[in-house]
Amino acid sequence: MYEKTVDVLMIGAGPANLALAIAIEESAPLDVAQDTLMLEQHPDVKWQRNMLLPWARSQVSFVKDLVTLRNPQSRFSFLNYLRVQGQLDEFVNLSTFNPYRWQLSAYQQWVADELEHVRIQFNARATHVAPRHAEDGSVQGWVTVLSDGTRINSRDLVIGIGRAARIPEVFHGLPAERVVHSTQYGSRMKQLPADARPHRPVVIGGAQSAAEMFMALHQDVPGCEPTMILRSIGLQNYQTSKFVNELFFPSFVDEFYKMPAETRLQVLEEMNPTNYAALAPPFLDEIYSMLFQQRMLGQQRSFVRPLTEVIGARMDGDDVVLDVRDRKSGNVEPLRCDMVFLGTGYDQQMPPLVCDIVTRLGLSEVTVSRHYRMELGVSGRGAIYLQGVNERTHGIADSLISVLAHRSQEITTDLLERRTDLGALPAPHHPVVLDRAARRDLPVEV
């Protein structure tokens, strides 16, 4: 066990915190950048690491990378990455704004490697965070505890870990080895021996992740007979109108934030078809063409069942039995399969790490400022910034990459302005008091 102190600690090396690291290196004083640390629980950086299918593309333009919309001259741009890798001519020749997902993932690892001042610590999983209170009760900073017992003191904390996978309750009673969420797909399939891979898989969901698993199973398990179940009337296109896409402009965040709460909820619901429960149009055509060919050639082995919902799930010997209800007739019938793949998205609650902090601070809810700073209810030098979980106040683009570049600058600006207003971080010997929960949970320093 050991303890160290940094100025800014970022948890998670995903696109949000990588974009922030670039902004800090390019916009903050050198001492702030050099005293910033990013934690990543994995040994490397990968974007959507378990859905890096060779043919899967990003639905967002490469211009909306980690930096270009903020600083088109930055050396951290996606185009400069391609130039450095010797891939620029080939990419331009593709005549597309939508790179393969594995390209963007490799780009993000390159960014992590190219950072000069902000440090990244891999294989570092944060288990919980406790506030550090001064004797007057103000929050002076945070103590983040890692799984190996390391304690990291920081003045400011940025949490960019995304939301937890959503596992619908109906599947909770099934053995874990029979249920695969899209966030697990790649690693779980690699772990399965060839003779143990599912031949009657069922995919749940009607969005991009479900459809990608449905198609991937045809390649990963040749000869399998996959079924896709979705509650909606059928697989649908993303809404891609250029008029609607203006709601993904960084400038729209200001407009959205100023709306009454009731209006924000209505707008979010209206914007759902732009990102949720839908597929990219070319991919939708590919699936339809595959099913068409199977039917016309008398070789149908893949099935899409719309207007169908799973109301029960149980084991019967080696079979998983799903009780499925036809929404058209109300009839319920059993569907036997050997594994269930969930494209059911993410839990819309705050991540457990954030919920635990809220409990420690005695807050009743999470409130976030326009600049993504969590309202702590008490004054002090320490602050927490939340990335990617603020759709209700900052709009549907908050969990996407469209606003990353501008958001990183807004957070950096807020960080620096607070340092001007509040002064430097107190030296470590200043009296700091951990709350009772923190004293109980944190390991004893040795």
- Distance of alpha carbon 21 from alpha carbon 345, whole angstroms: 27
Predicted confidence (pLDDT) per residue in 213-238, tens digit: 999 999 999 999 999 999 999 999 98
Query: In this predicted structure, what is the pLDDT of residue 411?
Result: 97
Q: Is the pLDDT at 445 greater than 90, yes or no?
A: no
Whether 436 shows a pLDDT value over 60: the answer reads no
pLDDT score of 262: 95
- Cβ contact 53:283 at 8 Å: no
**What mean pLDDT do residues 1-7 have?**
87
| pLDDT score of 275 | 81
Q: pLDDT tens for residues 135-167?
A: 888 899 999 999 999 999 999 999 999 999 999
The model's pLDDT over 294-338, given as tens digits with 9 standing for 90+, comes to 999 999 999 999 999 999 999 999 999 999 999 999 999 999 999
- Report the C-alpha gap between 151 and 141 in whole angstroms: 13
Q: What is the pLDDT of residue 1?
A: 62
Tens-digit pLDDT profile for residues 340-360: 999 999 998 899 999 999 999
Is the pLDDT score of 421 beyond 80?
Answer: no
3-state secondary structure the chain: CCEEEEEEEEECCCHHHHHHHHHHHHHCCHHHHHCEEEECCCCCCCCCHHHCCCCCECCCCCCCCCCCCCCCCCCCCHHHHHHHHCCHHHHHHCCCCCCEHHHHHHHHHHHHHHCCCCEEECCCCEEEEEEEEECCCCEEEEEEEECCCCEEEEEEEEECCCCCECCCHHHCCCCHHHEEEHHHHHHHHHHCCHHHCCCCEEEECCCHHHHHHHHHHHHHCCCCCCEEECCCCCCCECCCCHHHHHHHCCHHHHHHHHCCHHHHHHHHHHHHHHCCCCECHHHHHHHHHHHHHHHHCCCCCCEEECCEEEEEEEEECCEEEEEEEECCCCCEEEEEECEEEECCCECCCCCHHHHHHHHHHCCCCCCECCCCEECCCCCCCCEEEECCCCHHHHCHHHHCCCCHHHHHHHHHHHHHHHHHHHCCCCCCCCCEEECHHHHHHCCCCC
- Does the structure show a pLDDT above 50 at 437? no
| Most distant pair of Cα atoms in the chain: their distance | 77
Domain 169-238+275-342: which CATH number of 3.40.960.10, 3.90.1720.10, 3.90.660.10, 3.50.50.60: 3.50.50.60
Of all residues in the chain, the percent with pLDDT exceeding 70 is 94
Structural contact between residues 39 and 126, judged by C-beta atoms closer than 8 angstroms? yes
Average pLDDT rounded to a whole number, residues 110-126: 97
Could you state, in order of their start, the residue ranges of all structural domains in the chain? 3-164+347-440, 169-238+275-342
Res 282 pLDDT > 60 = yes
Please, which residues have CB within 8 angstroms of residue 18's CB and are 6 or more apart in sequence?
Answer: 38, 45, 66, 108, 111, 112
pLDDT at residue number 440: 39
pLDDT in tens, 51-83: 999 999 998 999 999 999 999 999 999 999 999
Locate 109 and state its tokens.
């690892």
Give the dihedral sign, CA 101/107/113/117: negative
Mean pLDDT of the chain: 91
pLDDT at residue 116 is higher than 60: yes
Question: Would you say residue 427 has pLDDT above 90?
Answer: no
pLDDT at 446: 27
Architecture of the domain spanning 3-164+347-440: 3-Layer(bba) Sandwich (3.50)
Determine the pLDDT at residue 263: 96
When pLDDT is cut at 50, 70 and 90, the band that residue 430 belongs to is: very low
> Is-same-fold flag (3-164+347-440; 169-238+275-342)?
yes
More confident residue, 105 or 280: 105
Query: To the nearest whole percent, how much of the chain has pLDDT over 90?
Result: 82
- pLDDT of 245 reads 87
Supply the pLDDT for residue 256: 95
Alpha-carbon distances of 368 from 112, 142, 257, 394, 398, rounded to whole Å: 27, 18, 10, 9, 12
Token match 């960080």: residue? 415
Name the pLDDT band for 250 (thresholds 50, 70, 90): very high
